[in-house]
Amino acid sequence: RRAPRDSGAAAARRGPHGGPGPAIMAASRPPETALAKLYFYYSAMNAGKTTTLLQSAHNYLERGMRTLILTPRLDDRYGEGVVASRIGLKAQGTIFGRDDDLQAMVTADIAAKGPLHCVLVDEAQFLSKAQVWQVTEIVDRLNVPVLAYGLRTDFRGELFEGSQYLLAWADNLVEIKTICHTGRKATMVLRVDEHGRALTDGPQVEIGGNERYVSVSRGEFKKVMAGEGVIDLQQPQLPLGRTGG
């Protein structure tokens, strides 16, 4: 006699080799094991990336959840390991170098301090290809979400190494928008001299702020790079903490 065929429900309960099937495995999986993701928040200069990072870290801490902020060693404008925004928010981060293994750093942090709920990476454009892969391993193997914030392109309009692979491998891509002085959306970054003229040569990485870099639209980028205009470096700041007129 022929053996009766399994019903669909029975097949779901039993795996191909007699073990538990996918339905049983899914039912037995604890609810807290939601899969983590890698997020890449990218923009031009002065769009509020670090402000957004610090706000995200604060939101986690408010809920009693532990975070780890990673910041590249080469960016020490505000002090070693200090992650600071243009509007005055700041926090202490953990420094990493270009040859450091970020997965190993996070694994060691968890072993020393306990469960970690989120990793936040400042200036993520400075990651190497290997480090972006390590960041994906933090997400996929350690199940810790990673929020990376960085520039998309350099002053020549070319991708940074870190940004290139974050754009390729991240689960979610989020653009943080800012505006050009023309009123259009700024998507490009210019490196300028003290007279506001665009620089077309030099190392890809040169740390600086408003005195060196300006975010512009693609059209304005073409114009200034062609020597057809200059950029006003005097960018007023919002008078935070003061009221009245």
CA–CA distance, 179 with 47 (Å, rounded to integer):
8
Q: Choosing from 123, 158, 194, 228, which is the catalytic residue?
A: 123
- Residue 86 and residue 57 in contact, taking contact as beta carbons nearer than 8 Å: no
What are the φ and ψ backbone dihedral angles of 168, each rounded to 5 degrees? Answer: -80, -35
Q: Are 90 and 83 in contact (CB under 8 A)?
A: yes
Instruction: Return the sign of the alpha-carbon dihedral for residues 241, 242, 244, 245.
Output: negative
Nearest CA to 39 out of 128, 124, 131, 141 is that of 124
123 is catalytic: yes
Partnered with residue 94 across adjacent β-strands are: 70
Residues with a known catalytic role: 123
